[in-house]
């Protein structure tokens, strides 16, 4: 009877070739999943740590150090920074900072319309987005960097909250070549600490934030002077209209 039983079918040459390929694909997929999970866990851990600990250094700072400019920075809690500085940042960079959840769609749409008409290129990034970029990423970059910026923006909005975002922003934003944070900027340009900034001084620092390597806060000229004066006038509006209410 055993001689009449059919023999088990042997795998065809095609199946033998496909099997190793499937094994490689499975291993590759497993590594990709591990890398993604590792990145998510590490990024969340970093955001949680920086909720309580000042970021010690950023990639932009490292780039300045490598370029020979050095790093001049001094951490200062938000409670010890003159409120005029946060108001000037809101007036100049992100008027809806206290009401959006990291992204200002109206500002993005307005910037797109202005850029389409030509002239000076404007961005629609919020203070939250700029903080995420400054702390965790490099300047410039393409779609991958923008996607990561959006990811970190969601994280810091959820984990840090508005006061911490503003505090970190005012301490890591570049305020001059090799100069980071409003404390170092105030000392460099005005000879006193950031706890004593006048609306005009805060407006001048806010005016150079988008292009700190090309604009000067001392004796500004042209657009920088006009922009700084406009921000100074809006500092009172931010205060009176409660646009800084999430920071009080």
Structural contact between residues 127 and 90, judged by C-beta atoms closer than 8 angstroms: yes
CB 23 within 8 A of CB 30: no
pLDDT of res. 129: 97
Q: What is the pLDDT of residue 221?
A: 84
pLDDT digits (tens, 9 = 90+) for 224-234: 899 999 999 99
The ranges of the chain with pLDDT < 70 are 1-19, 111-123
Q: Which helix (DSSP H) or strand (DSSP E) does residue 174 occupy?
A: strand 174-176
How distant, in Å, are the alpha carbons of 22, 73, 163, 171, 172 from that of 183?
Answer: 57, 7, 17, 7, 10
Instruction: Residue count of the chain, please give it.
Output: 248
pTM: 0.86
Euclidean distance between CA atoms 50 and 46, whole angstroms: 6
**Closest by Cα among 159, 168, 149 to 54:** 168
Beta strand extents in 194-246 (DSSP E only): none
Sequence-distant (6+) residues with CB within 8 A of 225 are none
Whole-number pLDDT of residue 1 = 47
Q: How far is CA 206 from CA 93, 109, 125, 193, in A?
A: 8, 23, 15, 16
- Long-range CB contacts for residues 215-220, cutoff 8 Å, separation at least 24: 217/175, 217/176, 217/185, 217/189, 217/190, 218/189, 218/190
Cα separation, 169 vs 194, in Å, equals 14
**Predicted pLDDT of residue 8:** 59
The SS3 assignment for 245 reads: helix
In angstroms, how far is the first alpha carbon of the chain from the final one? 91
Note whether 176 and 61 are within 8 A (CB).
Answer: no
129-156: pLDDT as tens digits: 999 999 999 887 788 999 999 999 999 9
């Amino acid at each position: 009877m055993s001689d009449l039983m059919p023999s088990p079918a042997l795998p065809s040459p095609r199946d033998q070739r496909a099997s190793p390929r499937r094994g490689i694909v499975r291993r590759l997929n497993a590594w990709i999943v591990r890398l993604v999970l590792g990145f998510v866990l590490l990024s969340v851990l970093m955001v949680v740590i920086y909720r309580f600990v000042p970021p010690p250094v950023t990639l932009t700072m490292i780039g300045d150090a490598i370029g020979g400019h050095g790093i001049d920075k001094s951490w200062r809690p938000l409670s010890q920074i003159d409120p005029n500085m946060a108001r000037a940042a809101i007036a100049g960079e992100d008027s809806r900072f206290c009401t959006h959840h990291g992204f200002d769609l109206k500002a993005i749409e307005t910037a797109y319309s202005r850029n389409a008409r030509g002239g000076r290129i404007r961005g629609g990034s919020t203070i939250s987005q700029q903080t995420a970029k400054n702390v965790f990423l490099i300047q410039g970059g393409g779609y991958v960097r923008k996607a990561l910026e959006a990811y970190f923006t969601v994280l810091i909005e959820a984990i840090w909250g508005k006061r911490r975002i503003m505090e970190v922003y005012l301490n890591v934003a570049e305020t001059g070549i090799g100069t980071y944070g409003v404390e170092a900027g105030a000392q460099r340009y005005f000879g006193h600490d950031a706890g004593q900034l006048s609306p005009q001084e805060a407006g001048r620092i806010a005016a150079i934030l988008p292009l700190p390597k090309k604009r000067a806060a001392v004796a500004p000229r042209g657009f920088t002077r006009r922009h700084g004066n406009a921000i100074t006038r809006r500092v009172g509006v931010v205060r009176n209209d409660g646009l800084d209410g999430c920071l009080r």
